[in-house]
Amino acid sequence: MEEFITMAHGAGGKQTSQLINGIFKKYFDSPYLTADDAAVLAPPAGAMAMSTDGFIVSPREFPGGNIGKLSICGTVNDLSCMGAKPLYISCACVIEEGFPVEKLDLIVKSMAETAAEAGVHIVSGDTKVAGKGQVDGIFITTTGVGELMPGVSPAGANARPGDRVIVTGDVGRHGTAILLERDDYGMEAHVTSDCAPLWEPVHKVLSTYPGVHVIRDATRGGVGTVLYEIADQSGVGVRLDSSSVPVDPQVAGVCGMLGLDPLYLACEGRLVMFVPEEDAEGVLDILHGCKHTENAADIGTVTEEHSGVVTLITELGTETVLPQPTGELLPRIC
């Protein structure tokens, strides 16, 4: 195998099959992935959920993951938020001419490892090579199909006054890790991305508490943006207790210096759940026993008043509005 991707790898000839066999097939070992034009799959028993997502993160590698892991987590988590068990994933990679094969190998390996952890099959793939400068390294699009658990229907419009708001771990880590990795600010801190597939905790929670009202993954825009979306979709207010929001001390330090709010920085392995009050403690117990959600916390409540607005109880016990950010905080974080 050559050291760098060339236009020939995308031309459909011998080099293309070398690339596919030498890298993609090496790691993607699902029985559904064949040399034919499409995967043939048995339909699931229940209703299906389907989701697609493109990934263009810069830098491609960051502490805690890379674009490959991210591309699987993103789609797995989108399906999971609907209460759908991720079954099959397809992926399309657009690779820049000159991209190091060694790096591609690492990215594809991460995709396979993450898919295995999430229990999902990668059943179909496509590679294209674009000329130098036409893409930045590699862009990946994944599409996933999942099977809805019977009797669950979490949705953004379902939050009700009295619900508890749960976040499945500390906030803002992915965005901070990316920001530090870009090294635009000359800051030294060690923050690992929270990037992780979250079907297992969702499955366990919904198996015991099928009545969870809302599950959403806090990616672009972070937890704060999700809360505003849900407040708007459900026509309710949200009141957070600022002291309960888990934030890693290093994330807090970096954000303090740059004037950013961790509530608005991207996560890639954090869910926000709106749970009926009587279920909240049980849901937290389950989350505390699952990988990736050990530090889940109850951060606030849903109110009937101030519909569409998210407020914070401050350290002084006063209530203020959680301000909404304007403009783009950080581009290309996922």
Partner 1 sequence: MEENRKSAIDRARDIVENYDGPDIRIMEVCGTHTHEIFRLGIRALLPENIQLISGPGCPVCVTPMSFMDEAVYLAMEKNAVICTFGDLVRVPGSEMSLWQARAKGAQVRTVYSPLDALEIAEKYPDREVVFLAVGFETTTPGACIAVENAAKKEIKNFSLLTANKTMRSAYIQLRTSADAYMYPGHVSTMTGMGVYRELARDYGISGAVTGFTASEILTALATIIVKLGEGKPFAENCYPRVVTEEGSRPSREIVGRVMEPCDAEWRGLGVIPDSGMRLRDEFSGYDARKKFQIPKMTAKGSPGCRCGEILLGEIKPYDCPLYGRACTPEHPVGACMVSGEGTCSAYYKYGSLELIRK
Binding site for partner 1 (CB under 8 A): 259, 305-306, 309, 311, 314-316, 318-321, 323-324, 326-327
Question: Dihedral of CA 94/97/103/104: which sign?
Answer: positive
Residue 39 vs 330, nearer CB to partner 1: 330
Q: Which one, 21 or 314, has the nearer CB to partner 1?
A: 314
Distances from the Cα of 36 to the Cαs of 32, 33, 90, 121, 238, in angstroms? 10, 8, 14, 16, 50
Which residue lies nearer to partner 1 by CB, 175 or 224?
224
The residue among 139 and 264 lying less far from partner 1, judged by its C-beta, is 264
Assign residue 140 a region (left: φ > 0; alpha: ψ between -120 and 50; beta: otherwise).
beta
What span, in angstroms and rounded, lies between the C-alpha atoms of 304 and 49?
Answer: 31
For partner 1, the closer of residues 204 and 306 by Cβ is 306
DSSP states of 187-201: ------------HHH
CA–CA separation, 225 and 290 (whole Å): 25
If the CB atoms of residues 133 and 317 are measured against partner 1, the closer one turns out to be 317
Least Å distance, CB 248 to partner 1, is 20
Strand order in the sheet with 84-96: 48-55, 138-148, 84-96, 121-130
Choice between 208 and 324, CB closer to partner 1: 324
The minimum distance between CB 259 and partner 1, in angstroms, equals 7
Q: Is 198 or 263 the residue whose CB approaches partner 1 more closely?
A: 263
Closest approach of partner 1 to the CB of residue 313, in Å = 8
Q: How far is the CB of 315 from partner 1 (least distance, A)?
A: 6
Shortest spacing between CB 184 and partner 1, in angstroms: 10
> 302 near 230, Cβ under 8 Å?
no
In whole angstroms, give the CA distance from residue 172 to residue 306: 25
CB of 229 to partner 1, least distance (A): 17
280's CB contacts (< 8 A; 6+ apart) are 164, 166, 298
Which of 187, 75, 79 is CA-nearest to residue 140? 75
Q: Which is nearer to partner 1, 99 or 264 (CB)?
A: 264
**Least distance CB 272 / partner 1 (angstroms):** 21
Task: Please say whether the beta carbons of 250 and 170 come within 8 A.
Answer: no
Placement of tokens 């800051």 in the chain: 187
Burial environment of residue 320 by CB neighbours within 10 A (0 to 12, 13 to 18, 19 or more): exposed
CB 156 to partner 1: min, Å:
21
What is the DSSP secondary structure assignment for residue 24, as one 8-state letter? I
Measured from the CB of residue 309, what is the shortest distance to partner 1 in angstroms?
6
Name, in order, each residue with C-beta under 8 angstroms of 134's C-beta and a sequence gap of 6 or more: 96, 97
